[in-house]
Amino acid sequence: MSQDHQEQAVLEHLEEVLAQERAKKAASTGGSRFPTMVVGLATGKSAPRVEELTVLRELRVDFENMAANGIDIRTEIMTQGWKSYFDRLSGQVYDKLVKELWKHADCDDYQVVSHILGRRIVITERSIAQLLGMDQVKAKRFQSVDNKMSGIRKTVNKELFGNWQLKKTEYKASDLYANLRVWFKIILTCINPRPLTSSSDYICTTQKVMLYFIKKKLSLWLSFFFFTYLKYCLRKSRTTSFEKKAVIYYIPFGKLLSDIFVESGLVKDLTDAGCTEDLTTTSGDALNGKNLKKLKMVKTVKVSHSDESLEDIIQQRIPVDDYPLWTMQDDRTAILHYLNMMIEEGYEVDVEEFFRTLPEGPRDEDLPSRKQKRDDSETESDEKPKKKKTKATTKAIATHLV
């Protein structure tokens, strides 16, 4: 089989895996798109308490400094369209708010929902994309890749590892080509974050395929991987899921979640209310030429990194105009599921008005880098709905489900 045919076989396999997982989810829930949510922190002897959880802060990657020291991956960043994401990694991380969100978070296939000091936070795959201003044109999604597939060994491993052999099946991260070792570090600290003290040389098959896509300049839909991994970690932090696996003691995406707090208006509301004790800030560490030396990729650091003060770092922000909770481009059933949750909690919701004022939002095939502004009167999350359960509202939900 030619190289091109092998690559096509890998891509087709990934599409098939994703389709099978969707079908499996539907079958496991009796056709329902919204399985029972995983609720609250884990309980039991092995369950972590909130104060025991570690917030993982994404590294601030200095691509310019790494390039000056001989490892230039700026082309891959631009090809993937990820510059806007990495530009956002400087700024505040609100550890206390992140832990508060995690403590009360629920999730299903389409959304992560939580409450922070009485404020509802909803995170979806699309809302992450809107926050980051990302374009998903021709971008790929995949998860749970089969390591035994021959295309993985013959096509993927061959492109990634300097000590590749046809019959060899086990590889370490330290066997990766130089640029890919940097990318693996970025994956472990920014895309699939986990504590670096835990099996730092282990590389799973899904991460191999991500590296393969990056090397081949095949676009990855980054917000899908963020959202999927966020749900995975949330479920793994509960004893009600993954019963045969250990409960994790960390929370990923400290900076991404903090960005959501800022752009959704939560931080401003807390500041205005004088709740500053919950707004202590910190920031992630830097990834630059010094790390290249630690990874033994360069012998000496030719150009030193210009260190910024913590105060300067946490003051940096890239605002998003009218960051929305939902748009008309979101899955309608997911929106109605959210509204139904509001009704069940006793809020009065005018469904017709809610849909009438939804912003149009970006198209799947053409997500803009900046968001269009809309009137304050059209912002769904400006005011909390009044608590009052009504039969008429429930009937309106049923009308939109038809």
Query: Do residues 308 and 164 both lie within one domain?
Result: yes
Q: Residue 149 corresponds to which tokens in the numbers above?
A: 């597939």
Nearest to 154 by CA among 218, 219, 208: 208
Residues 15-27 have pLDDT tens digits of: 666 566 556 655 6
pLDDT reported for residue 15: 66
Please identify, among 258, 285, 314, the residue that sits at the C-terminal boundary of a domain: 314
Backbone angles phi, psi at 150, to 5 degrees: -60, -35
Query: Do residues 285 and 393 both lie within one domain?
Result: no
Query: Do residues 176 and 293 both lie within one domain?
Result: yes
Backbone angles phi, psi at 49, to 5 degrees: -85, 160
pTM value is 0.72
Please identify, among 246, 281, 314, the residue that sits at the C-terminal boundary of a domain: 314
Instruction: Find the helix packing angle between 178-186 and 205-215, rounded to 10°.
Output: 120
Query: Do residues 27 and 106 both lie within one domain?
Result: yes
Split into its structural domains, the chain has a count of 2
Please identify, among 283, 314, 345, the residue that sits at the C-terminal boundary of a domain: 314
Domain limits for position 378: 332-401
pLDDT reported for residue 335: 73
pLDDT reported for residue 185: 92
Residues 295-332 have pLDDT tens digits of: 778 888 888 776 665 565 555 656 665 565 566 666 67
pLDDT reported for residue 252: 96
- The residues facing 115 across adjacent strands are 120
Handedness of CA 240, 242, 245, 249 (dihedral sign): negative
Residue owning tokens 């990934």: 14
Note whether residue 90 is domain-resident. Answer: yes
pLDDT at 362 over 70: no
Residues 255-285 have pLDDT tens digits of: 999 999 988 888 888 888 887 777 877 777 8
Looking at this protein, which amino acid is placed at residue 173?
A
Note whether residue 383 is domain-resident. Answer: yes
Query: Do residues 195 and 226 both lie within one domain?
Result: yes
Note whether residue 113 is domain-resident. Answer: yes
